[in-house]
Amino acid sequence: MLANSLEVLAGLVLLIWGADRFVHGAASAARNFGVPPLLIGLTIVAFATSAPEILVSIVAALRGEPGLAVGNAIGSNIVNIGLVLGCVAIVRPIQLRSATLRREMPALLAVTLLTVSLFLDSKLSRVDGLVMLTGLVIVMIWLTRLGVRSAPSDPIKQDFEAEIPSDVRTPLAIFWLLVGIVTLLFGARLLVDGSIEIARLLGVSEVVIGILLVAFGTSLPELAVSLVSAMKGEYGLAIGNIVGSNIFNLLAVLGAASIIAPLQLAPIVLSLHVFVMVAFTLVLFAMTYDYDGKNELSRIEGLALLVAFIAYDSYVVLQNV
Protein backbone atom coordinates (compact mmCIF):
# COMPACT_ATOMS: atom_id res chain seq x y z
CA MET A 1 0.00 0.00 0.00
CA LEU A 2 2.83 2.44 0.84
CA ALA A 3 4.56 1.82 -2.49
CA ASN A 4 1.28 2.28 -4.38
CA SER A 5 0.52 5.47 -2.46
CA LEU A 6 3.94 6.87 -3.32
CA GLU A 7 3.36 5.92 -6.95
CA VAL A 8 0.05 7.82 -6.94
CA LEU A 9 1.68 10.83 -5.24
CA ALA A 10 4.50 10.89 -7.77
CA GLY A 11 1.97 10.65 -10.59
CA LEU A 12 -0.03 13.58 -9.17
CA VAL A 13 3.07 15.75 -8.85
CA LEU A 14 4.08 15.01 -12.44
CA LEU A 15 0.53 15.67 -13.67
CA ILE A 16 0.33 19.04 -11.91
CA TRP A 17 3.74 20.19 -13.13
CA GLY A 18 3.20 18.76 -16.60
CA ALA A 19 -0.19 20.47 -16.90
CA ASP A 20 1.36 23.80 -15.94
CA ARG A 21 4.11 23.43 -18.56
CA PHE A 22 1.63 22.23 -21.18
CA VAL A 23 -0.69 25.20 -20.61
CA HIS A 24 2.29 27.60 -20.61
CA GLY A 25 3.72 26.22 -23.83
CA ALA A 26 0.43 25.84 -25.70
CA ALA A 27 -0.87 29.30 -24.77
CA SER A 28 2.46 31.02 -25.52
CA ALA A 29 2.84 29.29 -28.89
CA ALA A 30 -0.74 30.13 -29.88
CA ARG A 31 -0.26 33.78 -28.95
CA ASN A 32 2.98 33.94 -30.95
CA PHE A 33 1.10 32.56 -33.96
CA GLY A 34 -1.38 35.43 -33.69
CA VAL A 35 -4.33 33.70 -32.00
CA PRO A 36 -6.35 36.23 -29.92
CA PRO A 37 -5.96 35.75 -26.13
CA LEU A 38 -9.69 35.25 -25.51
CA LEU A 39 -9.81 32.51 -28.13
CA ILE A 40 -6.74 30.89 -26.57
CA GLY A 41 -8.38 30.95 -23.15
CA LEU A 42 -11.73 29.57 -24.28
CA THR A 43 -10.29 26.70 -26.32
CA ILE A 44 -6.58 25.93 -25.89
CA VAL A 45 -6.29 26.69 -22.16
CA ALA A 46 -9.60 24.94 -21.42
CA PHE A 47 -8.33 21.85 -23.24
CA ALA A 48 -4.89 22.03 -21.63
CA THR A 49 -6.25 22.25 -18.07
CA SER A 50 -8.22 19.06 -18.80
CA ALA A 51 -5.13 17.31 -20.17
CA PRO A 52 -4.49 15.37 -16.90
CA GLU A 53 -8.02 13.94 -16.93
CA ILE A 54 -7.83 13.14 -20.65
CA LEU A 55 -4.50 11.33 -20.46
CA VAL A 56 -5.37 9.46 -17.26
CA SER A 57 -8.59 8.19 -18.83
CA ILE A 58 -6.87 7.20 -22.09
CA VAL A 59 -4.20 5.29 -20.16
CA ALA A 60 -6.89 3.63 -18.01
CA ALA A 61 -8.87 2.59 -21.11
CA LEU A 62 -5.74 1.19 -22.75
CA ARG A 63 -5.03 -0.76 -19.55
CA GLY A 64 -8.52 -2.26 -19.67
CA GLU A 65 -9.82 -0.29 -16.67
CA PRO A 66 -12.66 1.79 -18.14
CA GLY A 67 -14.26 2.27 -14.72
CA LEU A 68 -11.33 4.47 -13.71
CA ALA A 69 -11.90 6.63 -16.79
CA VAL A 70 -15.62 7.06 -16.00
CA GLY A 71 -14.98 7.81 -12.32
CA ASN A 72 -12.28 10.31 -13.26
CA ALA A 73 -14.50 12.25 -15.68
CA ILE A 74 -17.61 12.33 -13.49
CA GLY A 75 -15.67 12.89 -10.28
CA SER A 76 -13.60 15.72 -11.77
CA ASN A 77 -16.74 17.67 -12.69
CA ILE A 78 -18.08 17.22 -9.17
CA VAL A 79 -14.74 18.25 -7.63
CA ASN A 80 -14.46 21.28 -9.90
CA ILE A 81 -17.85 22.65 -8.88
CA GLY A 82 -18.17 21.47 -5.29
CA LEU A 83 -14.59 21.72 -4.01
CA VAL A 84 -12.84 24.18 -6.32
CA LEU A 85 -15.57 26.79 -6.81
CA GLY A 86 -16.76 26.26 -3.24
CA CYS A 87 -13.30 27.01 -1.81
CA VAL A 88 -12.70 29.93 -4.19
CA ALA A 89 -16.03 31.59 -3.38
CA ILE A 90 -15.40 31.20 0.37
CA VAL A 91 -11.96 32.83 0.03
CA ARG A 92 -13.29 35.60 -2.21
CA PRO A 93 -16.82 35.95 -3.68
CA ILE A 94 -16.64 35.48 -7.46
CA GLN A 95 -17.94 38.40 -9.51
CA LEU A 96 -19.96 37.31 -12.55
CA ARG A 97 -19.79 40.18 -15.02
CA SER A 98 -18.63 38.39 -18.18
CA ALA A 99 -21.21 38.05 -20.95
CA THR A 100 -18.98 35.41 -22.56
CA LEU A 101 -19.07 33.32 -19.40
CA ARG A 102 -22.85 33.57 -19.21
CA ARG A 103 -23.07 32.14 -22.71
CA GLU A 104 -20.74 29.27 -21.75
CA MET A 105 -22.95 28.10 -18.87
CA PRO A 106 -25.85 26.90 -21.10
CA ALA A 107 -23.25 25.05 -23.20
CA LEU A 108 -22.02 23.19 -20.09
CA LEU A 109 -25.60 22.30 -19.15
CA ALA A 110 -26.34 21.06 -22.69
CA VAL A 111 -23.16 18.96 -22.78
CA THR A 112 -24.02 17.44 -19.38
CA LEU A 113 -27.51 16.49 -20.50
CA LEU A 114 -26.14 15.03 -23.76
CA THR A 115 -23.74 12.87 -21.77
CA VAL A 116 -26.50 11.69 -19.45
CA SER A 117 -28.68 10.73 -22.43
CA LEU A 118 -25.83 8.55 -23.74
CA PHE A 119 -25.52 6.94 -20.28
CA LEU A 120 -29.14 5.74 -20.18
CA ASP A 121 -28.42 2.35 -21.76
CA SER A 122 -25.73 1.72 -19.09
CA LYS A 123 -22.87 1.71 -21.56
CA LEU A 124 -20.76 3.98 -23.73
CA SER A 125 -20.08 2.46 -27.14
CA ARG A 126 -17.62 3.62 -29.77
CA VAL A 127 -20.55 5.31 -31.53
CA ASP A 128 -21.30 7.22 -28.31
CA GLY A 129 -17.64 8.20 -28.13
CA LEU A 130 -17.78 9.46 -31.69
CA VAL A 131 -20.90 11.49 -30.85
CA MET A 132 -19.05 13.05 -27.90
CA LEU A 133 -15.96 13.94 -29.94
CA THR A 134 -18.19 15.37 -32.69
CA GLY A 135 -19.94 17.41 -30.00
CA LEU A 136 -16.52 18.60 -28.81
CA VAL A 137 -15.68 19.88 -32.30
CA ILE A 138 -19.03 21.68 -32.48
CA VAL A 139 -18.50 23.26 -29.05
CA MET A 140 -14.99 24.41 -29.98
CA ILE A 141 -16.29 26.01 -33.19
CA TRP A 142 -19.03 27.70 -31.17
CA LEU A 143 -16.51 28.92 -28.58
CA THR A 144 -14.33 30.26 -31.40
CA ARG A 145 -17.25 32.26 -32.81
CA LEU A 146 -18.13 33.38 -29.29
CA GLY A 147 -14.58 34.66 -28.76
CA VAL A 148 -14.57 36.55 -32.05
CA ARG A 149 -17.89 38.25 -31.27
CA SER A 150 -17.14 39.16 -27.65
CA ALA A 151 -17.08 42.82 -26.72
CA PRO A 152 -13.61 44.31 -26.12
CA SER A 153 -14.75 45.40 -22.66
CA ASP A 154 -15.69 41.88 -21.50
CA PRO A 155 -13.81 41.29 -18.20
CA ILE A 156 -12.80 37.75 -19.13
CA LYS A 157 -11.14 39.09 -22.27
CA GLN A 158 -9.01 41.43 -20.19
CA ASP A 159 -8.15 38.60 -17.78
CA PHE A 160 -6.82 36.41 -20.59
CA GLU A 161 -4.88 39.35 -22.03
CA ALA A 162 -3.12 39.78 -18.69
CA GLU A 163 -2.43 36.11 -17.97
CA ILE A 164 -1.40 34.54 -21.28
CA PRO A 165 2.39 34.96 -21.70
CA SER A 166 3.49 37.32 -24.46
CA ASP A 167 7.27 37.26 -23.91
CA VAL A 168 8.01 33.57 -24.57
CA ARG A 169 9.80 32.82 -27.85
CA THR A 170 8.17 30.20 -30.07
CA PRO A 171 10.98 27.57 -29.86
CA LEU A 172 10.88 27.75 -26.04
CA ALA A 173 7.07 27.58 -26.04
CA ILE A 174 7.13 24.46 -28.22
CA PHE A 175 9.81 22.95 -25.97
CA TRP A 176 7.62 23.42 -22.87
CA LEU A 177 4.62 22.08 -24.79
CA LEU A 178 6.47 18.85 -25.59
CA VAL A 179 7.92 18.57 -22.07
CA GLY A 180 4.42 19.01 -20.66
CA ILE A 181 2.97 16.26 -22.86
CA VAL A 182 5.72 13.76 -21.99
CA THR A 183 5.44 14.57 -18.27
CA LEU A 184 1.66 14.22 -18.36
CA LEU A 185 1.92 10.83 -20.04
CA PHE A 186 4.42 9.54 -17.50
CA GLY A 187 2.45 10.97 -14.58
CA ALA A 188 -0.80 9.49 -15.91
CA ARG A 189 0.76 6.04 -16.15
CA LEU A 190 2.06 6.19 -12.58
CA LEU A 191 -1.28 7.46 -11.26
CA VAL A 192 -3.30 4.79 -13.06
CA ASP A 193 -0.99 1.96 -12.01
CA GLY A 194 -1.00 3.03 -8.37
CA SER A 195 -4.74 3.67 -8.29
CA ILE A 196 -5.61 0.28 -9.74
CA GLU A 197 -3.47 -1.49 -7.14
CA ILE A 198 -4.97 0.56 -4.29
CA ALA A 199 -8.47 -0.29 -5.53
CA ARG A 200 -7.61 -3.98 -5.50
CA LEU A 201 -6.04 -3.83 -2.04
CA LEU A 202 -9.06 -2.01 -0.60
CA GLY A 203 -11.52 -4.20 -2.45
CA VAL A 204 -13.37 -1.29 -4.07
CA SER A 205 -14.20 -0.61 -7.71
CA GLU A 206 -12.07 1.49 -10.04
CA VAL A 207 -15.04 3.86 -10.39
CA VAL A 208 -14.87 4.68 -6.68
CA ILE A 209 -11.09 5.20 -6.78
CA GLY A 210 -11.54 7.37 -9.85
CA ILE A 211 -14.13 9.53 -8.08
CA LEU A 212 -12.42 9.77 -4.68
CA LEU A 213 -8.73 9.81 -5.54
CA VAL A 214 -7.97 10.31 -9.22
CA ALA A 215 -10.59 13.02 -9.80
CA PHE A 216 -9.32 15.00 -6.82
CA GLY A 217 -5.71 14.74 -7.98
CA THR A 218 -6.34 15.66 -11.60
CA SER A 219 -8.46 18.65 -10.50
CA LEU A 220 -5.66 20.20 -8.42
CA PRO A 221 -4.45 22.34 -11.37
CA GLU A 222 -7.94 23.84 -11.68
CA LEU A 223 -8.01 24.54 -7.94
CA ALA A 224 -4.65 26.33 -8.06
CA VAL A 225 -5.52 28.38 -11.17
CA SER A 226 -8.94 29.40 -9.87
CA LEU A 227 -7.68 30.40 -6.41
CA VAL A 228 -4.84 32.49 -7.84
CA SER A 229 -7.17 34.10 -10.40
CA ALA A 230 -9.73 35.01 -7.73
CA MET A 231 -7.06 36.54 -5.49
CA LYS A 232 -5.93 38.67 -8.43
CA GLY A 233 -9.49 39.77 -9.07
CA GLU A 234 -9.61 37.87 -12.37
CA TYR A 235 -13.03 36.40 -11.66
CA GLY A 236 -13.73 35.47 -15.27
CA LEU A 237 -10.75 33.12 -15.24
CA ALA A 238 -11.65 31.72 -11.82
CA ILE A 239 -14.99 30.33 -12.96
CA GLY A 240 -14.40 30.22 -16.73
CA ASN A 241 -11.56 27.77 -16.15
CA ILE A 242 -13.98 25.42 -14.38
CA VAL A 243 -16.76 25.70 -16.96
CA GLY A 244 -14.40 25.03 -19.86
CA SER A 245 -12.67 22.18 -18.04
CA ASN A 246 -16.00 20.46 -17.25
CA ILE A 247 -17.08 20.62 -20.88
CA PHE A 248 -13.82 19.01 -22.00
CA ASN A 249 -13.96 16.45 -19.18
CA LEU A 250 -17.21 15.04 -20.50
CA LEU A 251 -16.72 15.28 -24.25
CA ALA A 252 -12.97 14.69 -24.60
CA VAL A 253 -12.27 12.44 -21.60
CA LEU A 254 -15.24 10.08 -21.97
CA GLY A 255 -15.29 10.35 -25.75
CA ALA A 256 -11.66 9.33 -26.18
CA ALA A 257 -11.86 6.58 -23.53
CA SER A 258 -15.01 4.98 -24.99
CA ILE A 259 -13.58 4.93 -28.52
CA ILE A 260 -10.50 3.11 -27.23
CA ALA A 261 -12.51 0.67 -25.10
CA PRO A 262 -16.34 0.69 -24.88
CA LEU A 263 -17.41 1.34 -21.30
CA GLN A 264 -19.95 -0.71 -19.37
CA LEU A 265 -21.45 1.38 -16.56
CA ALA A 266 -22.20 -0.07 -13.13
CA PRO A 267 -25.77 0.64 -11.86
CA ILE A 268 -24.38 2.87 -9.06
CA VAL A 269 -22.87 5.19 -11.67
CA LEU A 270 -26.31 6.12 -12.98
CA SER A 271 -28.21 5.99 -9.71
CA LEU A 272 -25.75 8.10 -7.69
CA HIS A 273 -22.66 9.56 -9.33
CA VAL A 274 -24.20 10.85 -12.56
CA PHE A 275 -27.19 12.15 -10.62
CA VAL A 276 -24.86 14.11 -8.28
CA MET A 277 -22.88 15.51 -11.22
CA VAL A 278 -26.05 16.75 -12.90
CA ALA A 279 -27.30 18.20 -9.61
CA PHE A 280 -24.07 20.16 -9.08
CA THR A 281 -24.20 21.45 -12.66
CA LEU A 282 -27.82 22.58 -12.30
CA VAL A 283 -27.07 24.29 -8.98
CA LEU A 284 -24.10 26.11 -10.51
CA PHE A 285 -26.26 27.18 -13.45
CA ALA A 286 -28.86 28.56 -11.01
CA MET A 287 -26.22 30.32 -8.89
CA THR A 288 -24.65 32.05 -11.89
CA TYR A 289 -28.02 33.23 -13.15
CA ASP A 290 -28.46 36.86 -12.11
CA TYR A 291 -31.75 36.48 -10.24
CA ASP A 292 -30.86 38.80 -7.34
CA GLY A 293 -28.93 41.50 -9.20
CA LYS A 294 -25.69 40.89 -7.24
CA ASN A 295 -23.76 39.29 -10.11
CA GLU A 296 -21.64 37.13 -7.84
CA LEU A 297 -21.12 33.66 -6.41
CA SER A 298 -21.26 34.53 -2.71
CA ARG A 299 -19.45 33.02 0.28
CA ILE A 300 -22.70 31.40 1.46
CA GLU A 301 -23.20 29.79 -1.95
CA GLY A 302 -19.56 28.67 -1.95
CA LEU A 303 -20.01 27.15 1.51
CA ALA A 304 -23.15 25.33 0.33
CA LEU A 305 -21.22 23.84 -2.61
CA LEU A 306 -18.34 22.75 -0.36
CA VAL A 307 -20.63 21.19 2.26
CA ALA A 308 -22.52 19.29 -0.45
CA PHE A 309 -19.23 18.02 -1.89
CA ILE A 310 -17.97 16.86 1.52
CA ALA A 311 -21.31 15.13 2.22
CA TYR A 312 -21.18 13.32 -1.13
CA ASP A 313 -17.57 12.17 -0.74
CA SER A 314 -18.24 11.09 2.84
CA TYR A 315 -21.20 9.02 1.71
CA VAL A 316 -19.13 7.33 -1.02
CA VAL A 317 -16.35 6.56 1.47
CA LEU A 318 -18.75 5.11 4.07
CA GLN A 319 -20.48 2.97 1.45
CA ASN A 320 -17.34 1.57 -0.12
CA VAL A 321 -14.30 1.60 2.19
What is the tens place of the pLDDT at every residue in 75-111? 999 999 999 999 988 988 887 777 767 778 888 899 9
User: Tell me, what's the pLDDT at 57?
Assistant: 86
Q: What is the 3-state secondary structure (H, E, C) of 299-319?
A: HHHHHHHHHHHHHHHHHHHHH
User: Tell me, what's the pLDDT at 12?
Assistant: 85
Residues forming a β-bridge with 95: 296
pLDDT tens readout for residues 6-21: 888 898 888 888 888 8
Domains of the chain with CATH codes: 2-320 (1.20.1420.30)
User: Tell me, what's the pLDDT at 321?
Assistant: 64
Confidence of residue 126 (pLDDT cuts 50, 70, 90): very high
Would strands 296-297 and 263-264 be described as parallel, antiparallel, or unpaired?
unpaired
State pTM to two decimals.
Answer: 0.87
pLDDT tens readout for residues 261-271: 888 888 888 88
User: Tell me, what's the pLDDT at 172?
Assistant: 92
pLDDT tens readout for residues 186-236: 888 888 888 888 888 888 878 888 888 888 888 877 787 788 777 777 766
Residue 204 is classified by DSSP as -
The mean pLDDT of 297-311, rounded to a whole number, is 93
| Of 97 and 314, the one with more pLDDT | 314
Helix (H) or strand (E) holding 45: none
Query: For residue 276, is pLDDT > 90?
Result: yes
User: Tell me, what's the pLDDT at 159?
Assistant: 67
Question: How much is the mean pLDDT over the chain?
Answer: 84
User: Tell me, what's the pLDDT at 292?
Assistant: 58
CA dist 251 and 98 (Å) reads 24
Q: How many Cβ atoms from other residues are within 10 Å of residue 236's Cβ?
A: 25
Q: How many Cβ atoms from other residues are within 10 Å of residue 127's Cβ?
A: 12
Query: For residue 304, is pLDDT > 90?
Result: yes
Confidence of residue 306 (pLDDT cuts 50, 70, 90): very high
